Chains A and B, each alone.
Chain A
Amino acid sequence: MTRSNLPFVLSGASSKLELEPASLDSGTARVAARFWAGKHEGSSAKAACVERIAAAWRDRKRVAEVMATLRPEEQVVLAVVKRFGGAISGALLQRELLARGVLHTTEREEMFPYRRNRLSADPVLALCERLVLVREPGYSSYSSYGLHRECPSVSLPSQLAALVEPAASLGWKASAPAQGVPESTSVRAFAEVLVDLEQTARALEGQRRWKVNQGGGLPAAARNRLAKLRQPIAGDPFDPPDRVALDHSLLCALGVVEVDGADAWLERERADQLFRRPPEGQASAWIRAWTTLRLWQDGIGAVPDRDNRENPTRIDPDRLRKGRALLAWALTRVAHGDEDWLDLETFLLDLHAASGERGLSFYWHGFAWQPRFAAAAGKDLGRGPERTRALWMDEEGVWAANALLSTFVYLGVVERGRSGGARSTRWSLRLTDVGKAVFGAPELGFKRAGGAVQCLTVQPNHEVLLYLDGADGEAVTTLGRIASRESAAGLVQTFKLTRESVYRALEGGMTSTAIESFLSSRSRNALPVNVSHSLAEWSRKREALVVRSAVALGVGLPDGQGVLRGRSVSAQFVVASQRAARNGAKDLGVSAESVTASQEWRVDERGVVSPGNAMSLIGKARLRRFASLAEGRWQITPESVRAARELGISVDQIIGWLGAHSSRDVHPVLATAIRNWVDGRGGVFLGEVILLQVDDPEAFDALRRSERLGPLLNGTLAPGCFVVAAEARKEVAKLLRDLGFSIDSKCKLAPVSEAPRSHDELALAGVVR
């Protein structure tokens, strides 16, 4: 058995603030310089003060001496900041200091009166004033006061951090004990979570690159497609909404999925590194990632990356992040508490008390799971703390309930308990062993079995049973590579070895020996002979067909030449490495020809191809596929094109090849002819029509409206041109004469080169009515 230590789960959750000399005011610089470097008779200009502070910080002994002069409550503040990795948000610092008794809820601002030229009595501000801590820019202690005054977010400069010991863990004491062990419980094994996440990652990887919404969210269509891997449990309010979006968001936050604009892709190496970490290490990474998610929210699901104050689309992400950090902080305390099971409602009430009115605070309603808490019943009371608490229990409390009993159960860090009947249900929770290790770190470790556990059974029908209670990252990721998942729930999951799944693994770089070795070493039974035979056969079939790229070909080289060495595939041809070919070509005085098409062909509209002086190997090979050589000239003919079509060569492919090798664009008549030869398209009308051409537009329009002429026309052909029905020619002539037209004008034609190119410009309309 081995133990592992993790960092405190909220360590590094806040970004580190750097000391910016430019943003320092000269008063602070003077006070801090005097504190760190002692009295000084020289210049008290800001630059000189900053230099003295920097010099003092470089002197480790001096730093230790000065730090020893800090007040005990200031030492506690520094220890807390160190526990959080050297940077902590104001909200968390406030709650920590309240819980540790450094601050008191009864304190009012007047207890820290402002005194000119004196340090603040508030230990956090006093440390900031002497630059022992760096506080967030723009923070003002005057902007709020009393109970509502929040500490600034602060960082501990790295030069000082080495001399500070992190604070010890805080415990958690429920305000009321849980009512024993719940009647039924739900828990997910670590490996169950891992298999789901790994399968989602593998399915995403199968898409190579995929489109994402603004901010990197997975579009609904992609979510629905991936959701088929593991269908949501119908009617289960605890199944996280948009589970695939949760997986995707986690993988993004973990750096396994990269997003660039509208494109996303999976980084396989990072995925493997993550999935092969020990259980508590992975779960800790999941929880850290969860605190940062902006596009998936607990009890809500996938949310868009936009906010609207009038019509909110999601919980304000910054407020939610603060809330998640406070919930995780409470669980770090639970991990160090004495209780096993916690009553959910009691825990939420305690959380409300511990996180403060403004700590976990946001607006949302309509969560996936909507528990009815007795403590939420006081919403109708008059203004006061009870009503405030009731409102909180009905909104933020419900969010926290969804996070605890849905998200955290899904992530395998919390076990859900239920007692009582339908009307008197009491929900409870406790941390799983992995959860205790995650939230109890660094003090609490995780006991896990050392070495590789035999967690598989390989059956003769090629099914592989994976026992999740003993599965580790290596087993899950390797099995995910070589087999496809058949069942998606439960502690024993079924995978199947198929020719395709094994082929994918072999293409991914695994060898058949490695696959067999993995199955043999991790299986509880001996590998069935037929399965072993299948693996060998599938591997052999793959080897029987090779698509080899990035190689060179030597053609018709002199007999006995030893310069270009490679594999002879026939008397004429040698396949060689690129490097050997380039060097060999130089020595043999042969130019190394690229596969890139040289544009030397001239192709006329009759399909005669003049390839230029010397045809490239590729050019000639292509030409032979769709043209015929007759009397020393290459000609594209209906027969040659149809023969190419029989071989699967498409019209677009032929035109593409012609375009690639020709010095000019393919003549459109030839392109049209090639299409016609293959598709049999291109019907035309060739015949006689009786044309009535009217030059004057007004006269044309008048005739168009004529009730007498209309029935005698077939339609129009172009502006000013009617097509007369053949049998009505005489009648039309008479009518036109009656209307005073002379019908002896000459037909006016535009040159062919001026013919309109677009069909829209031709008045090929129906009968004029």
Chain B
Amino acid sequence: MTTAKHPLDLLLPLLDPDGPAVLVDAAFLEVESLAQLVELSRDPRIGRHLLARLSDTVALIDPGAEEELVKALRAAGHTPRTARGMES
């Protein structure tokens, strides 16, 4: 039995790179708080589109699943902002 040190370790583990890397064409989910990320990861309709967390408030989205994630978030009553690039 693994002992989770972080509330998200079992739901959405931290990205575990093998070394320095740069990933392009990536997509992220950004939230306001750890609690919100825990809540979203726990929802199977949403969590299935997330691959790993980068921090307590940022998660890596499965490539190509951005639209489905937005649909799932909307279906769950959220109103996510969709942004392309680094625009704020």
* A residues lining the B interface (CB < 8 Å): 499-500, 503, 506-507, 538, 541-558, 564, 566-567, 569-570, 572-573, 575-578, 581-582, 584-585, 588, 590-596, 614-615, 617-618, 620-622, 624-625, 646-650, 653
Asked if A545 and B24 make an inter-chain contact with CB atoms under 8 angstroms apart, the answer reads: no
In the bound assembly, the distance between CA atoms of A503 and B77 in angstroms comes to 11
Asked if B81 and A506 make an inter-chain contact with CB atoms under 8 angstroms apart, the answer reads: yes
Asked if B85 and A577 make an inter-chain contact with CB atoms under 8 angstroms apart, the answer reads: yes
Asked if B27 and A551 make an inter-chain contact with CB atoms under 8 angstroms apart, the answer reads: yes
Asked if A545 and B22 make an inter-chain contact with CB atoms under 8 angstroms apart, the answer reads: no
In the bound assembly, the distance between CA atoms of A503 and B18 in angstroms comes to 40
Contacts A555-B22, A572-B17 aside, 18 further interface pairs with beta carbons under 8 A come to A507-B82, A545-B80, A546-B30, A547-B29, A547-B80, A548-B28, A549-B66, A551-B86, A553-B26, A554-B21, A555-B21, A556-B19, A558-B20, A570-B54, A572-B15, A581-B24, A588-B20, A596-B25
* B residues lining the A interface (CB < 8 Å): 11, 13, 15-32, 36, 41, 43-48, 51-52, 54-55, 57-58, 60-64, 66, 69-70, 73, 78-86
17 contacts between A and B (CB under 8 A): A545-B30, A546-B31, A547-B80, A551-B28, A552-B23, A553-B22, A554-B21, A555-B15, A570-B55, A572-B54, A591-B22, A593-B22, A596-B63, A617-B21, A621-B52, A647-B47, A648-B44
Q: Which residue of B lies closest to A614 (CB)?
A: B18
Chain A nearest CB from B10 CB (Å) reads 8
Asked if B69 and A648 make an inter-chain contact with CB atoms under 8 angstroms apart, the answer reads: no
In the bound assembly, the distance between CA atoms of A621 and B17 in angstroms comes to 9
Asked if A542 and B20 make an inter-chain contact with CB atoms under 8 angstroms apart, the answer reads: no
Chain B residues near A591 (CB-CB < 8 A):
21-22
Take A594-B24, A617-B17 as given contacts and tell me if A553 and B54 are in contact as well, using a CB distance cutoff of 8 Å.
yes
In the bound assembly, the distance between CA atoms of A111 and B63 in angstroms comes to 81
In the bound assembly, the distance between CA atoms of A588 and B85 in angstroms comes to 22
Asked if B51 and A618 make an inter-chain contact with CB atoms under 8 angstroms apart, the answer reads: yes
Chain B residues near A558 (CB-CB < 8 A):
20
Chain A residues near B24 (CB-CB < 8 A):
552, 578, 581-582, 592-595
Q: Which residue of B lies closest to A561 (CB)?
A: B20
In the bound assembly, the distance between CA atoms of A541 and B31 in angstroms comes to 10
In the bound assembly, the distance between CA atoms of A229 and B29 in angstroms comes to 35
In the bound assembly, the distance between CA atoms of A538 and B30 in angstroms comes to 17
Asked if B36 and A544 make an inter-chain contact with CB atoms under 8 angstroms apart, the answer reads: yes
Q: Which of B13, B18, B27, B41 contacts A549 (CB 8 A)?
A: B27
In the bound assembly, the distance between CA atoms of A585 and B62 in angstroms comes to 22
Chain B residues near A552 (CB-CB < 8 A):
22-26
In the bound assembly, the distance between CA atoms of A593 and B62 in angstroms comes to 15
Asked if A547 and B85 make an inter-chain contact with CB atoms under 8 angstroms apart, the answer reads: no
Chain B nearest CB from A557 CB (Å) reads 6
Chain A nearest CB from B25 CB (Å) reads 5
Asked if A547 and B81 make an inter-chain contact with CB atoms under 8 angstroms apart, the answer reads: yes
In the bound assembly, the distance between CA atoms of A119 and B81 in angstroms comes to 74
Asked if A621 and B27 make an inter-chain contact with CB atoms under 8 angstroms apart, the answer reads: no
In the bound assembly, the distance between CA atoms of A194 and B21 in angstroms comes to 54
Q: Which residue of A lies closest to B11 (CB)?
A: A647
Chain B nearest CB from A100 CB (Å) reads 61
In the bound assembly, the distance between CA atoms of A543 and B31 in angstroms comes to 9
Asked if B51 and A547 make an inter-chain contact with CB atoms under 8 angstroms apart, the answer reads: no
Chain A residues near B46 (CB-CB < 8 A):
648
Chain A residues near B31 (CB-CB < 8 A):
544-546
Take A547-B70, A648-B47, A653-B48 as given contacts and tell me if A618 and B82 are in contact as well, using a CB distance cutoff of 8 Å.
no
Chain B residues near A649 (CB-CB < 8 A):
47-48
Chain B residues near A584 (CB-CB < 8 A):
22
Chain B residues near A585 (CB-CB < 8 A):
22
Chain B nearest CB from A180 CB (Å) reads 58
Asked if A564 and B27 make an inter-chain contact with CB atoms under 8 angstroms apart, the answer reads: no
In the bound assembly, the distance between CA atoms of A564 and B13 in angstroms comes to 25
In the bound assembly, the distance between CA atoms of A506 and B24 in angstroms comes to 27
Asked if A556 and B17 make an inter-chain contact with CB atoms under 8 angstroms apart, the answer reads: yes
In the bound assembly, the distance between CA atoms of A590 and B86 in angstroms comes to 21
Asked if A595 and B44 make an inter-chain contact with CB atoms under 8 angstroms apart, the answer reads: no
Q: Which residue of B lies closest to A625 (CB)?
A: B51
Chain B residues near A544 (CB-CB < 8 A):
31-32, 36
Asked if B32 and A624 make an inter-chain contact with CB atoms under 8 angstroms apart, the answer reads: no
Most buried by A among B19, B22, B62: B22
Chain A residues near B70 (CB-CB < 8 A):
547
Q: Which residue of A lies closest to B30 (CB)?
A: A546
Chain B residues near A545 (CB-CB < 8 A):
29-32, 36, 73, 78-81
Chain B residues near A581 (CB-CB < 8 A):
22-24
Chain A residues near B11 (CB-CB < 8 A):
647
Chain B residues near A573 (CB-CB < 8 A):
15, 54-55, 58
Take A590-B22, A622-B62 as given contacts and tell me if A547 and B69 are in contact as well, using a CB distance cutoff of 8 Å.
yes
Asked if A590 and B21 make an inter-chain contact with CB atoms under 8 angstroms apart, the answer reads: yes
Chain B nearest CB from A315 CB (Å) reads 44
Chain B residues near A543 (CB-CB < 8 A):
81
Chain A residues near B28 (CB-CB < 8 A):
546-548, 551, 553, 575
In the bound assembly, the distance between CA atoms of A545 and B79 in angstroms comes to 7
Chain B nearest CB from A318 CB (Å) reads 44
Chain B residues near A596 (CB-CB < 8 A):
25, 63
